[in-house]
Amino acid sequence: MLKVSDIIQIKIDKIVFGGEGLGYFNDFAVFVPMSVPEDELEIEIISVKKTYARGLIKNIIKASPERVDSHKFTFEDFYGCDFAMLKYESQLKYKRLMVEEVMKKIAGLSDIQVNDVLASEDIYNYRNKIIEPFSVYVNKIITGFFKRKSHEVFEVDENILNSKLGNRIIKELKEILNKNKISVYDENAHKGILRNIMIRTNSNNEAMVVLIINSNKITENIKKLLFKLRENIEEIKSIYISLNSKKTNTVIGEKNILIYGEKSIKENINGIEFHISPTSFFQINVKQAKRLYDIAISFFDDIDDKYIVDAYSGTGTIGMIMAKKAKKVYAIEIVKSASEDGEKTAKENGIKNIEFINGAVEKELVNLINNNQKIDTIIFDPPRKGLEASIIVTVAKLNLKEVVYISCNPSTFARDVKLFSEKGYVLKKLQAVDMFPQTSHVETIALIQRVET
């Protein structure tokens, strides 16, 4: 029987949903993060459960041909990216297999074959939003990532996913802060000022800086340092200070105070200019988001002159694109600032046939029906937890011919596909999209149709 701290040798057979490698030691399952099928490894066991164990790589005995570097194997080696040890074509292959696996196991579609994952044009520096926590290392202020399953921060030379402008701003900010010795927040003592830095960038190479501090008020000193940052980097168009004095893991504070420049930065998708504020939900990889939206809209039979609900609409991106052809779009979103950004964007772009509804989808959808509003179809783009079961019941009651479902979590999506099938619907089309290269995350777009009886 395996014990914690045992050092064993193992060969990795496959990658399972969630991105970890799986091998067997005397027929006992062992999960190994950052491992690749065909790796022969020396690992240290870090936990043992009834039916499986987990281990971390100590040494690569023989590297898989799908591995990018036979000498690097830790989470930190790969800048906190859990799929960066794989060559890009292999990342796409395993994402496809992960989607296929959950569709078979959870959705019960035993003969499904998933198409190749749509590759991302940019596989590095594609993120337009990054949040890094502050920490202190050898008396120096650093930012970076949390070590796996811990709150200890490690610094990297360059964040391989962050936009190049974002990286430049963070580097410059750290130099300014280190010259001025501002205190760093300690979550155990709940003392110190600097909590996190958020950078948002757009396709025009403009940036918004949000400094999150443990305070109820802004000091002139902090303001002065941020103005110095703007002096040094002219691409910064907006600076906020976010006040977060609560003992919480939530990053952004309830009060976000604009101290310089524009309230929001803009992004253009399909000819529509979108406003992005500190709290806005917006797609992280814009180039790939445009392709994702085009596929999702193409899945509909016909949206001309239709009444459409954009459920979990964020800032209303896909809703506004669809409004160009649709008769009316109802964009339902629970985050108030995202709805407000959407309203502002619609007004500025002269889009009059979209209505933003701030509230929970399961509640607001029922309200629309009770108010006798016509609904021809729905596009869903829920958070990781997927749809509330009541929503699927509502769709079935409406007897909608089809819905389109964009998902950021294949396992909850597979669960929902099964629930739809129990209500007389069938998965008609499925396309996986790689929105986040170097990570194990994968998005899916699906067309779900009512079975004609």
Residue 381 marked in a binding site: yes
Three-state secondary structure of the chain = CCCCCCEEEEEEEEECCCCCEEEEECCEEEEECCCCCCCEEEEEEEEECCCEEEEEEEEEEECCCCECCCCCCCCCCCCCCCCCCECHHHHHHHHHHHHHHHHHHCCCCCCCCCCCCECCCCCCCCECEEEEEEEEECCEEEECEECCCCCCEECCCCCCCECHHHHHHHHHHHHHHHHHCCCECECCCCECCEEEEEEEECCCCCEEEEEEECCCCCCHHHHHHHHHHHHHCCCEEEEEEEECCCCCCCCCCCEEEEEEECCCEEEEECCEEEEECCCCCCCCCHHHHHHHHHHHHHHCCCCCCCEEEEECCCCCHHHHHHHCCCCEEEEEECCHHHHHHHHHHHHHCCCCCEEEEECCHHHHHHHHHHCCCCCCEEEECCCCCCCCHHHHHHHHHHCCCEEEEEECCHHHHHHHHHHHHHCCEEEEEEEEECCCCCCCCCEEEEEEEECCC
Catalytic center residues:
408
Annotated binding-site residue? 312:
yes
> Known binder of ligand: residue 122?
no
Has 283 been labeled as part of a binding site?
Answer: yes
Which residues define the annotated binding site for S-adenosyl-L-methionine?
283, 312, 333, 381
Which residues define the annotated binding site?
283, 312, 333, 381
